[in-house]
Structure 1
Amino acid sequence: MFTFSFRGLIRLSLLSSLGLGLLLLFSLIYSSPLHEQLVVHLQLDNVPSGFIQIGKPDPNDIIRLTIGLESPNMTQLEKRLNEISNLNHTDYGKYLSKTEVEAFARPSSNVTKTLDAWLTGHNIKPKTTNPAGNRLTLEMPVNQAEKVFNTSFDVYTHTLSNQTVTRATQYSVPTTLAESILFVYPISHFPPASPKTSTSSRRRSVVPSSKLDTTNIVRRNLCNLSSVNVSSDIAIPCLLELYHVPTDMGVPSTDDEVVVLSSPGGGVNGRNIAKFLKQYLPDVELSKVRLEIVSADGGDSPENPTELSFQQDVLVETVLGIAPNSRVTVVTSPPDDPFFVHFLDFLLQSETMSTVVYITSNVDESGVDINMINAVCNDIMQLTARGTTVVTASGDGGVGGEANPGTCTAFHANFPAICPHTLSVGATQISSDFTEVAEASSAGGGFSNTQPMPSYQTEVVENYLKQIGDLYSGLYNRQGRGFPDVSIFGGWMDVVTDGPSVTGGSADSAGLMAGIIAALNDHRRAKGQGPLGYVHPLIYANTGAFTDITQGSNPGCGTNGFPASGGWDAVTGLGTPLFDELLKII
């Protein structure tokens, strides 16, 4: 017989209320930012080759991290960029303002609120947030970072370069943010094997100026190209002759700026630059040469570089050798920025945009995670949307890349040369019959495994693929972005690096091409026009402005590499520029 008890009813009611309260309490606790479920965001299968673990970091050491957020409107920005770079569009050349580009780059408000709540729950306030809101910099002790990102840091050193870094092999983020966070940099992003520019200039031993045979230095008006061959050193005056670049541009200097990315620790010796110009371009007034060095987000102080980098001198000389009227700014990058994140964000935050940006290094595409590649390529697209031409080398070492192993399961592609909005530049040399051919040791080129083939090159690349048929089938991505776009001389060139010297490599080629673009911009400014900016649709629609290079290849991986051929090819692109022809189409 069931007996009703009022006291029992009260006890049951209290227990039910208590249980419900505890349930709500636990629900609130475990739905708070501190207890939000985490998911692994990036995990390395192995520590990159050459790095060995040597210990643990001090838990109180401060670590700087950058969170990159997805910008959901990049597709719309690309659509707008395609309009303003379309020769037949009414808005051709009407590049966007800083504010307009930032509006496209801004993450969604929901993502921003969720991220803010998570960081606040951990007592973290971003040290900096860029104007677009898609890059946040955090600083915290190592032990706090380990808790926040559910990871464990170690100290690694590279056996060849002796570079020491604090890294983890994996990290986690909240599940609610996993799709919106592109990277937390550089927790699991190891730098390339060498801390120096990967597409490095090749420099012979310096010849003391007292022993230099000046009779072999040819001025422009004495330059006899028929006497130049593969073993010759070529001076800037001969290159001006080769590419139909006038010594006197016939237009006034403008405030157009060429930005050169310096290697970490790199400086520029102004005396070397002055000696170079005096030696090879004596008509240039040195008092009007404009060269500046600035630090980007932790880069070495311009007044106190860790070394005077001969390589940086060479890269500046290649630009000024073609476009001495240009204002050149060398930006020193921080040592923890191997994938250009801080450098590009530094440029995007500038109120006035440089018309040419020259990225002097490349890394192997396969060594960078896809989110990082897409984020950096999108940053480059934002620069081009503001009217900047971003120039980079195709890389050295042929299809095998810098390491160029004897055999490969896949050809190597170079980043950021594979980004669709970079102007990727390959290297040529002068052959024994006085024609230009691909520079075998400095002719990187091929196809991206991450970036699809852009529409501006579809026709010419597909034509090339038909020509080579099944050659190297399975070793490269036939649907990928083809590079380089163009080429220019990358053989031995006379320079000054604490004395007369010679240099060569695709990094130097990119510098020469940056100078070509800068000089063309001077002519556009003289006509009241804006900068060339996103130049790809223009040059692919006017291939006659380039000398087609049909000889040579880029050997690597135990193969002869891709062959040069008529039309675009994966060694020399569209060919080498003819300045006078380019003037006709701009």
Structure 2
Amino acid sequence: MLLTTRLLAVLALVLCATGAPSTISPHVVHESRSNVPRGWAPVRRAEPTMILPLRVGLVQSNLEHLEDFVMDVSHPESSHYGKHWSAAKVAQTFRPTKESADTVRAWLVESGVDPTSVRVSAGGGWLKADVTVEQAESLLGTEYHVYQFGEDDSRVHVACHEKYHLPEHVAKHVDIVTPTLHFDVKPKLGAPQEVALDKRDGVSSDVSAHAVGQPGFGVSFPKTTGTIGTIFNELENCDEQIVPDCLRVLYSFEYIPFATDKNSIAIVEYTPQAYLPGDLDLFFGNFSPSQVGQRPVLESIDGGYDQTEYEGFGENGESDLDLQYSMSLVGPKQTVTLYQAGDLYEGASFGNLLDALDASYCTFEGGDNPEFDATYPDPYGVGYEGPEDCGTVTPAYVMSTSYSYDEVELTPAYEQRQCAEYAKLGLMGTTILYSSGDYGVAGNGGICLDSEGYESYDGTVFNPSFPGTCPYVTSVGATQVNPGASVYEPESACEQVIYSGGGFSNVFAMPSYQKAAVEHYMATYPPSYSDGTYNTSGTSRAYPDIAANGANYVVAIDGEFSLVYGTSCSSPVSASIFSAINDARLTIGKGPIGFINPTIYTPLFMEAFNDITTGNNPGCNTNGFSAEPGWDPVTGVGTPNFAKLVGLWLALP
């Protein structure tokens, strides 16, 4: 007995001397993934001495009440409708507890991490510590590998294998740990010359390839059938060419703004995507002469600027489209702000945008999230070297983004944390629109999932998109004027060049506001697919929420007019219409409409949308879903009728 006591005492001394954890609890799997994004494969174990910028995202307070909070200010029957929160109230309500920060810090320090290197973010949501791969593997019970994209040895990433673990007593305080399972981590290298550079004047292939705006890299972009020599610009030709006047007739959209000094609308772009000034003037000269010479107001985020070093449809098509149509539809009196995110070298992603909009989202002092989101100051010494924007941008009342990933390309924890941030912006009165995707029930590029959840061109399982599946954004699908039909006749789901993205999330639960509408569709028009084809649980988030025309847009690109297709068209057009509704409310002293989904799913508002009842969104060797009376997973509740909607919204508090 005495010997046992002595041994325990010696063991305790050894544990203290070696810095082993004093609080012992079993390790549990915190996050896992069954596959890696298409094109990536492990090539070797990561070097044990490589430095990783470890970031621990703390569990935010009150997230279990998030939907209740949002519904309280967004549902038209709530007594608090339109009483949006201040940024300070949002930050205070969701700030992680001191207990969470203390628990995670203690775990890191007791596990051997230098206590002087552990820092807390300005918003209190993250802990940061630079650790070696060897330390990270010990902390998280995992292995780190270097992954390579195809045969390109300049496009490599470091990520852990399959899953990582946390002590059980720590796990309940943690949302997410990075870098772990995501595929845009950038390990710290030595000198800038160690970075693999391509031939584009020193642009890092490894870095620039991960910007959301990089052509052909994992996100959705508009499509084109090429240039056109003749512009019709007549209403009788809207089935062949969509111009601003076609949209005004389709959606009963005639409005002169009065509260332009109070109202705000923003279009989000990610470098290298950029508009060309000459393209704006070419477009305005044909469709809105008074706006020739007018430009969006640039709000630079992390070194974002109007780059002209690289031109072509892949670099200019998205921005030219978004700005030409949003600016012409809101008219010359209403300023359109351009949120241009990222420099040409590091680029940017959705998290960089959210950092700039909300200081509490930033990962640490100055803002930085090294997974999926670019790091500033530029660690390679070739790009933007100012501090990363963190809470520097006042969110516009309406924001439109025409970029998307496939849900499976990211991890649920990453998506859920980001989705919660969109909810906070809704609480503050911002309407956030995202395009739903251009490949029907398939993912970007027409890729589907196999039975094990891997992306595969031979897959037959539907592949939903993100952020459109986040229940706190408004997802916008696409319609068309049918060939040979008049602009005054009903549209159908888009089936020219692109198909409206839609379906059911594999990550997010169904929000209460759409439950009745989705249940009606499933009961009245049940899809005839097996359980393994899509998420048939009946409890998952369904999308899109609304739709607008997405075919045959006349867009000036690189000095010529092209026909353009995509939900990239639908989102900025819808944003322009909702911005005008905000103007009307602001004119009579009311506030912005904010998060619109709880309102548009009410029976009264659903009747104010043009119901789309024909067409499908094929993909994955199926016809996809069908557009039917009421809400459907092709065109949502339908296309906006401005004349009806503005009256209904003016009647709300």
**What CA distance in whole angstroms lies between the structure 2 residues aligned with 1:87 and 1:555?**
35
What residue in structure 1 maps to residue 648 of structure 2?
585
Give the TM-score of the pair, scaled to structure 1: 0.85
In 1, distance between residues paired with 2:514 and 2:528?
A: 20
- Residue 153 (str. 1) matches residue 153 (str. 2): no
CA–CA distance in 1 between the matches of 2:130 and 2:308?
Answer: 24
CA 1:358 to 1:567, structure 2 compared with 1: closer, same or farther past 3 Å? same
Q: Is the 8 A contact 2:304 2:340 kept in 1?
A: no
Residue 296 of structure 2 aligns with which residue?
Answer: 290
Alignment of 1:450-465 (within 5 A): 450-465=507-522
Q: Deviations over 1:167-209 (max 9, x none)?
A: 22243434322233222234211269986462210023345xx
Query: Which SS does the other structure have where 1:442 is aligned?
Result: coil
Q: Distance in 1 between matches of 2:586 and 2:580?
A: 10
Alignment coverage as a number of residue pairs = 556
User: Hey, what's the Cα distance between the residues in 2 that align with 1:40 and 1:87?
Assistant: 41
Of 535, 540, 562, the residue aligned with 2:596 is 535
Q: Give CA-to-partner distance per residue, 1:323-363, whole Å, 9 cap, x none.
A: 24133122315888997333323322236332123232222
SS at match of 2:248: helix
Once the two structures are TM-superposed, the CA of residue 25 in structure 1 deviates from its matched residue by 1.7
Equivalent residue, structure 1, for 2:406: 364
**Alignment equivalent of 1:168, drawn from 153, 157, 160:** 160
- Distance in structure 2 (CA, Å) of the matches to 1:141 and 1:293: 37
CA distance in 1, matches of 2:550, 2:414: 29
Paired amino acid for 1:199: S
> Amino acid of the residue matched to residue 227 of structure 1?
N
Matches of 2:308 and 2:21, distance apart in 1: 42
Larger CA deviation: 88-97 vs 314-323 = 314-323
From 472, 486, 496, give the equivalent of 1:421.
472
For 2:620, the equivalent position in structure 1 comes to: 557
Kindly provide the CA deviation profile for residues 192-236 of structure 1, in whole angstroms up to 9, marking residues without a partner as x. Answer: 9986462210023345xxxx43xx341xxxx42x4332xx12112
Alignment correspondent of 1:4: none
The answer to whether structure 1 residue 489 and structure 2 residue 527 are counterparts is: no
Specify the SS of the correspondent of 2:170.
Answer: coil
Alignment of 1:270-349 (within 5 A): 270-284=277-291, 286-287=293-294, 289-296=295-302, 301-302=304-305, 307=310, 309-310=315-316, 311-324=318-331, 325-333=334-342, 340-349=350-359
Paired residues of 2:37 and 2:408 also in contact (CA < 8 A): no
Whole-Å separation in 1 of the counterparts to 2:611 and 2:77:
26
* 1:258 corresponds to 2:275: no
**Gap regions ≥5 residues in structure 1:** 1-11
1:222-241 paired onto structure 2 within 5 Å: 223-224=234-235, 226-229=236-239, 232-241=240-249
Structure-1 separation of matches of 2:156 and 2:22: 32
- CA–CA separation in structure 1 for the residues paired with 2:151 and 2:262: 42
**Residues 65-76 of structure 1 correspond to what in structure 2 (within 5 A)?**
65-76=54-65
Q: Is the 8 A contact 2:44 2:145 kept in 1?
A: yes
Pick the aligned partner of 1:185 from 178, 183, 186: 178
SS of residue matched to 2:547: strand
- Contact kept? 2:399, 2:432, Cα under 8 Å: yes
Q: Could you tell me which of 350, 353, 359 is aligned with 2:395? A: 353
Which of 75, 81, 84 is matched with 1:92 structurally?
A: 81
* Paired amino acid for 1:168: C
Q: Name the aligned partner's letter for residue 21 of structure 1.
A: A
Matched, 1:199 2:220: yes
Judged with a 3 Å threshold, the aligned counterparts in structure 2 of structure 1 residues 137 and 561 are, in CA distance, closer, same or farther, namely same
Q: Larger Rg: 1 or 2?
A: 1
Aligned to 2:102: 113
> What residue in structure 1 maps to residue 383 of structure 2?
none
Q: Which amino acid aligns with 1:558?
A: N
Query: 1:56·1:154 contact (CA, 8 Å) conserved in 2?
Result: yes
Q: d(CA) in 2 for partners of 1:197 and 1:328?
A: 26
After TM superposition, list the pairs within 5 Å mapping 1:16-27 onto structure 2: 19=7, 21-26=9-14
Deviation at 1:537, TM superposition (A): 1.9
| Contact 1:105 1:132 survives alignment (8 Å) | no
One of 119, 123, 126 as aligned partner of 1:135: 126
Question: Aligned with 2:226: secondary structure?
Answer: coil
Give the superposition deviation at 1:463: 1.3
Whole-Å separation in 2 of the counterparts to 1:317 and 1:532: 24
User: Distance between the aligned counterparts of 2:441 and 2:39, measured in 1?
Assistant: 22
Name the residue aligned to 2:564: 503
1:433-459 deviation line (CA, Å, top 9, x unaligned): 334110132311111223222221122
CA distance in 1, matches of 2:471, 2:414: 15
Corresponding letter in the other structure for 1:317: Q
Pair 261,176 (structure 1): closer, same or farther in 2 beyond 3 Å = farther
Cα distance change of structure 1 residues 136 and 511 upon mapping to structure 2, 3 Å threshold: farther
Distance in 1 (alpha carbons) for counterparts of 2:246 and 2:258: 22
- What is the RMSD computed on CA atoms of the aligned residues? 3.2
C-alpha separation between the residues in 2 aligned to 1:270 and 1:36?
Answer: 62
- What is the CA-CA distance between 1:57 and the residue it aligns to? 5.7
Distance in 2, matches of 1:537 and 1:101, equals 20
Taking a change above 3 Å as real, the CA distance of residues 470 and 245 of structure 1, as seen in their structure-2 partners, is: closer
The one-letter code of the counterpart of 1:425 is V
Name the SS of the counterpart of 2:340 in structure 1: strand
Cα 1:46–1:85 change in 2 (3 A) is closer
Q: Which one-letter code corresponds to 2:177 in the other structure?
A: V
Partners of 1:527 and 1:29 in 2: CA distance? 69
Any conservation in 1 of the 2:546–2:637 contact (CA below 8 Å)?
yes
Separation of aligned partners in 2, 1:399 and 1:320: 31
- Displacement of 1:35 in angstroms is 9.1
SS at match of 1:205: strand
TM-aligned CA distance change 1:483 to 1:282, over 3 Å:
same
- Offset, 1:421: 1.1
Contact 2:264 2:337 in 1 (8 A): yes
Aligned pairs (5 A) from 1:237-248: 237-246=245-254
Q: Does the 8 A contact of 1:265 with 1:332 survive in 2?
A: no
Q: In 2 relative to 1, CA 63–294 (structure 1 residues): closer, same or farther, beyond 3 Å?
A: farther
CA displacement, residues 523-579 of structure 1 (integer Å, 9 cap, x when unaligned): 222222221111112222211221111110001121111111111111111111111
* Pair 1:202–1:139, CA change in 2 (3 A): farther
Q: 1:526 to 1:447 in 2, by over 3 A?
A: same
Larger deviation, residues 559-568 vs 59-68: 59-68
Verify the 8 A CA contact 2:492 2:612 in the aligned structure 1.
Answer: yes
Matched, 1:269 2:273: no
